[in-house]
Amino acid sequence: MSFDPNKEDYQRLGLRFAASLDGQDPQNVARSFASFGRTFARDRDSLPQTDQDRAFHLVAVAATTIDYELPFADDVRAKQLIRKGHQLLDEALQLDPTNVDAQRMKAAADIPSFEGYYDFLLDGVDSAREKSFKAAGQAAEAEPHGERARLARELALRPYLRWLSTLASKAIICGHNRQALATCQKVFELDPQDQADARFTAAIAYAKLEDEQGLEGLRRFGRKQTGLRSHDGDDAWLQIARISIAYKRHDLSTAESQLRALLGSYPFAAEAIVSQRELPDGVFARLAVPAFSEDELILAISECTVLIQEGRDRAGRGALGSWLIQAAHRIDPAGASRGLEQDSADNPKGGLSR
């Protein structure tokens, strides 16, 4: 599970709505709740909400605009979407200057360099922590007990989790792999269920550091988290990290059998492995896609670019990248050829399969 902004918006208002019904008779509560979904969709403004909730809603719309619509837009539309995203984030910050998601997302657009954005996230991590825990404290006052209290705390802390997860993933892009692992560790401590899927990022960092033991430890940790995913089995990030480590050990037969397993666990995997598309990272969070879907593999490959494109290689695909292409052709020639066609097709933006 990654963070779906619209679902989170729904959860926040649902919680607020439930609290507003406290003290009413149970039949009335049941009836009101039955209509909540429809009201949320059609007449959101009529629901009880705070400025923080309104700001989060704007963040959710901005996230949808930037992360889910922009990659599919033509140039004219893209400019409109970018402008719209900025406006939404500005409005969100006017309503709730402490909204750390909006702060983080705005900085992603405003700071052009990798290292600059990384420094921004690093410098702001304590402040993001403080704000989120303060919100969690306020939520605990309003909702002291039960399932609602748990959800309220979780929702309050998510912006901090996202901050940390983004920090970890940007650390890798900047080449700060040990810092990426230390940051992932913070995520795991705060959220042992790892809803943020920071372990995907950690897998890349372990592979970058060629730390096989660390990666196997992460694999054991990940196996405990499968309750959150649609079915068991290693995720694509972990699988690519293991392939990368076997390749780096020059154990090419193990690497090839692990690639075979990867191709068996995701649909249209050879295509994705051969075309190796690079997508812009989600600005709100890693894009929410179904577990073990083709899209998930495309996302994983894109994030693993830092592993795949490493090393000198004449074709410019990186040492592992070139090997993956050749090996995919050996294992699944038909799929790999289709990937090659996709790769050469006129598809400047790439993007997910949807």
Partner 1 sequence: MNARDEFVLRLATKRGAKLRLSDSGYAELLLAVQEDPTKFMEDASDEAFLCIAQALRRYNESRSKDEFLDDADFMRERKRRLERMRQDCAQALELDPGCTDALLLEAIAQDSDLDALLDRLLEVEREASEKDGPLQAAGSGDAWDDVMVRPRLRVQATISRTCLDTGRFRMADAVGQSLIALSHSDHLGARHTCALALARLEDEEAFDALDAKFSRRGDCWLQLSRVILLFKLGRMAAARRALRGFRGLCEGGIYALLRPVMVDTYMPDRPQCDPYSFEEATVAIHEADPIIVDVPDLPQWVENQPDMREAAMSFAQRMGFDW
For partner 1, the binding residues (CB under 8 A) are 113-116, 122, 173-179, 208-210, 247-250, 306, 310-314, 318-320, 322-323
d(CA 71, CA 257): 34
Shortest Cβ distance from residue 135 to partner 1 (Å)? 28
CB of 132 to partner 1, least distance (A): 23
Residue 58, token pair as written in the block: 């704007």
d(CA 304, CA 205): 10
Nearest-approach distance from CB 109 to partner 1, in angstroms: 18
What is the H or E stretch that residue 45 is in? none
Question: Measuring CA to CA, how many Å separate 39 from each of 10, 74, 269?
Answer: 11, 33, 41
Nearer to partner 1, 159 or 318 (CB): 318
CB atoms within 10 A of CB 76: 8
| Residue 208 · residue 177 · CB < 8 Å | yes
Q: How far is the CB of 45 from partner 1 (least distance, A)?
A: 44
Distance (Å, whole) CA 187 – CA 190: 5
Pick between residue 115 and residue 341 the one whose CB is nearest to partner 1: 115
If the CB atoms of residues 124 and 351 are measured against partner 1, the closer one turns out to be 124
C-alpha to C-alpha distance for 31 and 27, rounded to whole angstroms: 6
**Type of residue at 263:** L
Nearer to partner 1, 42 or 250 (CB): 250
- Tell me if 39 sits within 8 A of 47, measured CB to CB: yes
- Residues ≥6 apart with Cβ < 8 Å to 288: 1, 2, 3, 4, 7
CB of 62 to partner 1, least distance (A): 26
Q: Which of 48, 288, 310 is nearest to 162 (CA)?
A: 288
Nearest distance, CB of residue 22 and partner 1, angstroms: 48
Residue 311 vs 351, nearer CB to partner 1: 311
- Rounded to a whole number of angstroms, the minimum distance from the CB of residue 269 to partner 1 is 22
Q: Which is nearer to partner 1, 38 or 312 (CB)?
A: 312
Q: Considering the complex, what minimum distance in angstroms separates the CB of residue 68 from partner 1?
A: 27
Nearer to partner 1, 152 or 167 (CB): 167
**Choice between 269 and 306, CB closer to partner 1:** 306
DSSP letter for each residue of 296-323: HHHHHHHHTHHHHT-S--TTSS-HHHHH
DSSP 41: H
Which tokens is 14 given? 């649902």
